[in-house]
Amino acid sequence: MWNKNKRLISNLIFVGALLLTLVCIELFAPPTSMWFSVLRKVCTFSLAAVSMNLLNGFTGLFSLGQAGFMLLGAYTYAILTIPVEMRSNVFRNYGDSVINFQMPLVPALILAGLIAAFFAFLIGLPVLRLKSDYLAIATLGFAEIVRGLVQLQNFGPVTNGPDPINMFTAPKNIMAYVAISGISILIIILIINSTYGRAFKAIRDDEIAAEAMGINLAHHKRLSFIISSFFCGVSGAMMAMCNTSVSSVSFTSAMTYQILLVVVIGGIGSVSGSIIAAFIFYASSEWWLKFLDLETFTASGSKVPLLGPGFRMVVFSVLIMIIVLFFRKGIMGTREISVYDGLMKIRSLFKGKQAVKEEK
């Protein structure tokens, strides 16, 4: 019991320190710093990855509908938060928007999640009967259908058809993103640690045994699908905020694969793994490796070989292959980060070395 408390306290201290660091970056980093755009993206995709992990990693349902649910969330949020006076301007190709009010940020975010969850509720019943690969194909298809539908001219007065939506509320400070993502991930962690989380894991481990232990498969799979889609919708809304513009072309299946990659790199079945992986993934692809895309010249004036547009993605892909090869189960496997255990390990390493020194 005492050990458990120590773990909790050291983790809380760790999270506190992390938050403090983020506040410091917010306050003291130069406004042009890459930290801002990268951290916004990391928060957004951490949530997307964690909610995908809830379904794929903790419940064992291989779904690839993330882009579709994120699109639903992004559009819902964007449409609802455009200031009334801007609406006729945004929807100029369709006369005006059918919606003539502006919602505050938080209710719009919740609604973004609810709309995504509602669609999950609708398609859950038929789709979740399918097994593994078929489920993946059906959900992938769903995402593409949604993407096609919002572009239709007929829906123009609601979705602005193929034209992008902009001018909606989009906070710039990273603490807003940290708060939305943090609270959502906290809720997911609470679910995973509840009796329902255990039921989800039981289904993942052995469906037949789970059912024999009285766990209603259809009900619990659907529940996990709806919860995961809710938070996918919220992360879609965050993505809209990041980009300050929403267009259906950005919600491709390539984005779903990117999130899947983050989940796999972090560890299927590890929340902290997904967050760490999201940070590494977006910080390196959008920032640390950016220099590889620039044509660079040495002091003597000769061009550095290989560096140039596109080279960044080559290096990035090689790095991902290396990570996947060396960490078969992702960075964290199914474990979670524990500061206390980490410290104990370091201490024992240190002590070990000292002991060796003393012997000499």
Our finding on whether 208 is near other proteins (CB under 8 A) is yes
CB of 257 to other proteins, least distance (A): 25
Question: How many other CB atoms sit within 10 Å of the CB of residue 317?
Answer: 11
Q: Which amino acid is at 232?
A: C
Q: Under rule CB under 8 A, which residues in 214-233 are in contact with other proteins? A: 214-217, 223, 227
Distance set, CA 183 to CA 149, 171, 179, 246 (Å): 31, 17, 6, 24
Strand ranges (DSSP E) for the chain? 165-166, 245-246
Q: How many residues bind other proteins (CB under 8 A)?
A: 27
Q: Distance between CA 122 and CA 14 in Å, rounded?
A: 40
* Token representation of residue 38: 């990268």
Measured from the CB atom, is 6 or 283 closer to other proteins? Answer: 6
Our finding on whether 194 is near other proteins (CB under 8 A) is yes
Beta bridge partners of 246: 165
What is the CB-side half-sphere exposure of residue 214 using CA atoms within 13 A? 1
Our finding on whether 191 is near other proteins (CB under 8 A) is yes
Our finding on whether 27 is near other proteins (CB under 8 A) is no
Coil, strand or helix: which one is 340? helix
Our finding on whether 334 is near other proteins (CB under 8 A) is yes
Our finding on whether 199 is near other proteins (CB under 8 A) is yes
Our finding on whether 1 is near other proteins (CB under 8 A) is no
Looking up tokens 């496997």, which residue turns up? 333
Residues 45 and 281 sit within 8 Å (Cβ to Cβ): yes
CB of 5 to other proteins, least distance (A): 16
Determine how β-strand 245-246 pairs with β-strand 165-166.
Answer: antiparallel
Q: Which of 211, 293, 336, 341 is close enough to bind other proteins by CB under 8 A?
A: 211
Measured from the CB atom, is 246 or 332 closer to other proteins? Answer: 332
Question: How many other CB atoms sit within 10 Å of the CB of residue 285?
Answer: 20
CB of 220 to other proteins, least distance (A): 9
CB of 108 to other proteins, least distance (A): 22
Measured from the CB atom, is 157 or 329 closer to other proteins? Answer: 329
- Residues at the contact surface with other proteins, assessed by CB under 8 A: 187, 190-191, 194-196, 198-199, 201-202, 204-206, 208-217, 223, 227, 269, 334
